[in-house]
Amino acid sequence: MSKSKVFIAAALAMGVSSSVTAQQPAPPQLPQAPNMTFFVTGNGPGKGADLGGIEGADQYCQTLAARHGAGGKTWRAYLSTQPADGKPAINARDRIGNGPWQNFKGTVVAANLNELHSDNNKLGVENSLSERGLIIPYRGFAPNRHDVLTGSDMQGRAFPAGEDRTCRNWTSSTQGAAMVGHIDKMGLRDDAESKSWNASHPSRGPDGGCSQNDLRSTGGDGLFYCRATRGGKEALRSGPGWQARPRLFDGQQARKTS
């Protein structure tokens, strides 16, 4: 083949390639909520209760928030740690600011720390939404993903050293246990623990209590709460362009079981 023919063939190939590339549709934009200051992680990192420590959990919150237009705030995971290796305990309530906190669609779930840790908060199925503004599948759906990692008591404080309630301060995906709450405020009994959003029961399971399979076996998936420590009252408005949407679920496809 002559040089001229080779050149023409190459040019035509490049033209076809450029045309195909130009015709590729742009990926859809992720839903944006720049005024969001609270969400439940739609998925966990995937290593059970090993979140890379509390710092790794904070970074995970920050990354998810940034994807949805709220990365200009400082985000913290609502997690406590227990005293270990000469380090003092950390209370979840002491690391998330003073509120108020609003979800993806602009609903204020708590005005301050006292309201957050009272019966007056607006957490639950309709308002404890993921970073994408979707409902987390709850009790009565399969899979049920309503367990949320907190490592905290009902007032958002850490447990003393001794019995593990934080899966070794969020570094274990095997042995240990983590205190979990119920995102939907629903449980097997009609008592305060079953209805608690942050302190319902410890995790458990055949792998030791902290693996992804263990968390799933009791109705969880390694999810946790994220809250912005700053954003303030100036952020109390719905995100631009938000509109009411059908009831959608985050994570795996959920089906009603009853």
Q: Average pLDDT, stretch 8-17?
A: 46
Q: Average pLDDT, stretch 226-254?
A: 51
For 51-80, the pLDDT digits (tens) are 999 999 999 999 999 999 999 999 999 999
For 149-193, the pLDDT digits (tens) are 999 999 999 999 999 999 999 999 999 999 999 999 987 788 888
Quick one: DSSP state of residue 166? B
DSSP string of 71-109, one letter each residue = TTS-EEE---B--BTTBPPB-GGGSS-S--EE-TTS-EE
Residues β-bridged to residue 135:
129, 249
Strands 141-142 and 255-256: antiparallel
72 contacts 92 by C-beta, under 8 angstroms: no
Cis peptide before 160 (omega within 30 of 0): no
**pLDDT for 191:** 83
CA distance 135 to 128: 7
- The first and second tokens of residue 187, run together, are 């449980």
- The first and second tokens of residue 163, run together, are 């019995």
Measure the N-to-C terminal CA separation of the chain; round to a whole number of Å. 71
User: For residues 154, 160, 161 and 167, what is the CA-based torsion angle, rounded to 10 degrees?
Assistant: 10
- The first and second tokens of residue 65, run together, are 């928030």
Q: What is the pTM of this model?
A: 0.81
For 119-159, the pLDDT digits (tens) are 999 999 999 999 999 999 888 777 889 999 999 999 999 99
CA distance 233 to 99: 8
User: What is the chain's length?
Assistant: 258
The residue written with tokens 């003092």 in the block is: 88
CA distance 202 to 209: 9
Q: What average pLDDT is seen over the chain?
A: 84
Does residue 255 carry a pLDDT above 90?
no
Q: Which residues neighbour 33 within 8 Å (Cβ) at sequence distance 6 or greater?
A: 68, 69, 70, 104, 105, 131, 133, 239, 242
CA distance 229 to 100: 9
At residue 31 the predicted structure's pLDDT band, cuts being 50, 70 and 90, is: confident
